[in-house]
Amino acid sequence: MVASTVRTKLEVEDLEIRYGDHVALKGATFDVRENEIFGIIGPANSGKTSFVRSINRMDEMTPGMEVSGSLKFNGKDTSTWRNLYALRSRIGVVFPLPVGLPMSIYENVAFAARLRGLRSKAALDEVVERCLTRAALWDEVKDRLDSLGSLLSGGQQQRLTIARALSQDPELLLLDEFSIAVDPVTTMRIEDVLKELKKEMTIVLVTNLVQQARRLADRTAFFLQGEVVEVGNTKELFSGGAVDERTTHYIEGRFG
């Protein structure tokens, strides 16, 4: 029997991210594999969010942010994509605090599908229901889809943001501390959804909850003060297999 080949979704080589004179991330070299949940942990100001922002070239919208080195998505350096929309349409992003569009719950989720040219009401209905269900929100809003998304609670708005990201049918889903505004019960429901979603896409999970990485990530990277200290199999890292003692100290809660 021929062994299956693990494909790479993101290739990061000697990546450096600066904001003026401040270096947020330096010398980052690792890969993210297809259909895995790749966890990123580390204390504040370690470069985690800067890395996420660099993936779909948010440096072009952030004054003073400069990115150098190589970051390849599906084997193609992201800096060479002339059609930025084509790149970003393949990458769903969810940030710590929900950012809803000023429109109904239904239109928040249908928006990306409409941009892709989908016009059929039945098809749009299917997209909206599927994505809201995956985000563990459908049962709570199915009877008020015409209501403004901004009227939802904070946790519901975050799940709406996740549903909107999923409506792009992304190949890569970036989650930057998605559970900050979500209650523990809903967080666990979304975690169950993420385990299923990795069958269809690659997920990069930045989390300030070390145990969340332990529960979800196939591999985990530890960022510290702008450095990628190490990347390893999550089970091994959390079972005393870390190469660098700083990783062990952080996982054990000795600092952070």
pTM of this structure = 0.91
Q: Do strands 37-41 and 172-176 pair parallel, antiparallel, or not at all (unpaired)?
A: unpaired
| Whole-number Cα distances in Å, 37 to 9, 203, 213 | 11, 5, 9
Give dist(CA 137, CA 134) in Å, integer.
Answer: 8
Could you give all domains of the chain from N- to C-terminal order, each with its CATH number? 1-81+203-256 (3.40.50.300)
Strand partners, 223: 228
What b-and-e string marks burial along 168-192, b requiring 16 or more CB atoms within 10 Å of the CB?
Answer: bebbbbbbbbbbbbbeeebbeebbe
pLDDT digits (tens, 9 = 90+) for 45-92: 999 999 999 999 988 888 889 999 999 999 999 999 989 888 999 999
pLDDT digits (tens, 9 = 90+) for 160-212: 999 999 999 999 999 999 888 788 888 888 898 899 899 999 999 999 999 99
What confidence tier does 4 reach under pLDDT thresholds 50, 70, 90? low
Contact 137, 129 (CB under 8 A): no
In this predicted structure, what is the pLDDT of residue 78?
95
pLDDT digits (tens, 9 = 90+) for 96-114: 877 777 899 999 999 989 9
